[in-house]
A and B are shown apart, each in its own frame.
Chain A
Amino acid sequence: MSKSRYQLPDLSVQLVDDLIIRHIDKGSSVIDLGCGDGRLMQRLSGEMNCNVVGIDVELGNVAAVMRRGLPVVAADLNKGLADIPSDTFDFAVLSQTLQQVQHPKLLLKEMLRVAKRGLVVVPNFGHWRVRYEVLRRGRTPITHALPYEWHESPNLHFMSMRDFRELMQSIGLRIVKERPIINGRSVDQAWAANLRADSAFYLLERTSSTTSEPA
């Protein structure tokens, strides 16, 4: 990995968790998709009195969540959420995971099938430094948090904010709120967000035209 290549900055865990928690109602039910060791779940349970369930594919993560005394279901997000009944949760969280799943469109639909609202945080590959990197050097960008070469990266999909908005429209999900994250701060609105944001946060909701057939 070349040091001179641009890296999308590693978002502070604290920042992302705070941002998500701010958009979740106290006492609501939450499913955390790709919950990892259950860090966010613990805050939602402890600070927000939420009824929270995690989903993760790694057995080590399942054990870690159980060590926190919280419930977790081992499942592969690449296979959808077939075992989660519809309309079970108030919120579904998908933090920095969407770019790593095989079928993002399917998972987004599944999220909004099992929960009334979805909270998504994704990197913005539309950032000007990424574009510049590709243009100037013809090299694929690497993120700081996931410093992998293209052939070993868990990031399967590279989307920009504009791409994301367009996808939401095509599958009939409404973006209730969009917050670009710029230089480690989430902002309400930003000029040329698609060029300047490292990542973006979205609050999603179903609309009457949300398609229900598989992607």
Chain B
Amino acid sequence: MTAAANNSSRPGDGDSVGIVETKFATLFSEASPLKFLNGATLAPICVAYETYGTLNERRDNAVYVCHALTGDAHAAGKHAAEDEKPGWWDGLIGPNKALDTNKYFVICSNVLGGCQGTTGPGSLNNETNTRYCLDFPFLTVSDIVSVHSELVRYLGIEKLLAVVGGSLGGMQVLDWTVRFPDQVRAAVVLASAPKLAAQGIAFNAVGRRAIYADAGFLNGKYYESEGPRYGLALARMVAHITYLSEDSIELKFGRRLQDSDRFAFEMQKETEFQIESYLHYQGKRFVQRFDANSYLYLTRAMDYFDLSEGHATLADAVRNVQARFFVASYDTDWLFPTSQSKELVSALLQVGKHVSYVELACPFGHDSFLIDLGPLTDLISPFLEQTLISAKA
């Protein structure tokens, strides 16, 4: 297995991993298919992934990045020099960054059920030669992690240095440390929680309803037509509000109007205020890159996630983890509030696990873990360095 991405990093690229490409792996087989938590089986599964940096000879420097709800495998660098934006966590991944590609081999893959290269409801079912649509197996965070874990084996890595993720990505990290304790030395859990709180489920429910209620939804069999564009955009608009904070909306938009300094007194003008215009724009952009069925599946996976399920307490659930933890929450995040991270930290402390925790101050709400990378870098860098040292000891 080669790490092609590293070679393209040239002096002058600054702190970028340079030009990268998405690769594809075919995992599982008829003989040994992926077994979903709900009993379904599926094979083969195609996984889109990217890697940055070089896997060392001891194969002990691999760091797996788990993306959040609507992320993808393209976490760092650019696919082409003229790309407007780099990968979604480019500020954290690269030479001399928190996930330092001079030291670590960083892997990021699109999740099972996603729509950016990995098998999901929009993929073709080879048996029927039609798309899965809602016949795709009902998936959970555990099923997502089972596929990640298989990719790690496919890449010839026995034990990861670390698994890193925010939000739904953090849930994957947690599931991973509990279900495959031997595979993870360190876990970085950002703006996440051991379960989705009722408030989060509530917002997901509104998003799904918006999709179902769209006449274009056609019970999920919309791939030959326009699809539930308005429903999906509305789902995104609602969700996007939950990723911001009162302060950040106020700061960024306030009550400012979009086109004029006067009210239009036009009932159907939906972009009068800047915040309105912004949300509509976010909805529209989202529809161009995301599949409504994937949105349904992945928000459900998030709703179902509860690390303590099947255990008397959360502490019991984490009793067998071997990884050391770094947990961070944000003071303005009301979707994954600090109290939920603290619950996790308490449980880990209770069973004597190695855990570091901070609540960071940042105005950007839940999205802070994607934006405010300075303080994270100061803490993640030593955390990973020390884990690597202890791995060699």
Contact = CB atoms under 8 A, between A and B. Distances in A.
Which of A53, A71, A83 has the most C-beta atoms of chain B within 10 angstroms of its own C-beta?
A: A71
A34 B118 CA distance: 47
Given A83-B342, A88-B349, A66 B355 contact: no
B324 A63 contact: no
Interface string A32-64: 000000000000000000010100000100110
Interface residues of A, number: 19
B246 interface: no
A67 B384 CA distance: 10
Interface string B350-393: 10101111111000000000000001001100110111011000
Contact of B346 (A51, A68, A71, A83): A83
B352 A29 contact: yes
B350 A69 contact: no
Given A62-B379, A68-B386, A51 B352 contact: yes
Contact of B357 (A51, A68, A74, A85): A74
B379 A63 contact: yes
Contact of A66 (B359, B360, B379, B389): B379
Which of A51, A53, A68 has the most C-beta atoms of chain B within 10 angstroms of its own C-beta?
A: A53
Provide the main secondary structure of the chain A interface: mixed
A75 B137 CA distance: 43
Contacts of A59: 358, 360, 375, 378
A68 B378 CA distance: 13
Contacts of B385: 67
Given A69-B389, A73-B345, A85-B349, A63 B357 contact: no
Contacts of B355: 53, 71, 73
Interface string B305-328: 000000000010000000010100
A53 B350 CA distance: 12
Given A59-B358, A74-B358, A83-B345, A67 B386 contact: yes
Nearest to A69: B386
Provide the main secondary structure of the chain B interface: helix
Nearest to B380: A66
11 contacts: A53-B355, A59-B360, A63-B382, A66-B326, A66-B356, A69-B389, A69-B390, A71-B354, A71-B355, A74-B357, A74-B358
Contact of B358 (A51, A62, A85): A62
Contacts of B379: 62-63, 66
B324 A71 contact: yes
A66 B349 contact: no
Contact of B350 (A51, A66, A73, A88): A88
Nearest to A54: B356
Contacts of A67: 382, 385-386
Contacts of B315: 85
Contacts of A29: 352
B383 A66 contact: yes
Contact of A71 (B342, B356, B359, B375): B356
A73 B357 contact: yes
Contact of B356 (A51, A62, A88): A62
Contacts of A53: 349, 355
Interface in A76-98: 83-85, 88
A65 B383 CA distance: 10
Interface string A112-154: 0000000000000000000000000000000000000000000
Given A63-B382, A69-B389, A85 B356 contact: no
A66 B186 CA distance: 13
B349 to A, nearest CB: 6
Contacts of A83: 342, 345-346
A29 B353 CA distance: 11
A72 interface: yes
A18 to B, nearest CB: 26
A82 B81 CA distance: 51
A73 B378 CA distance: 15
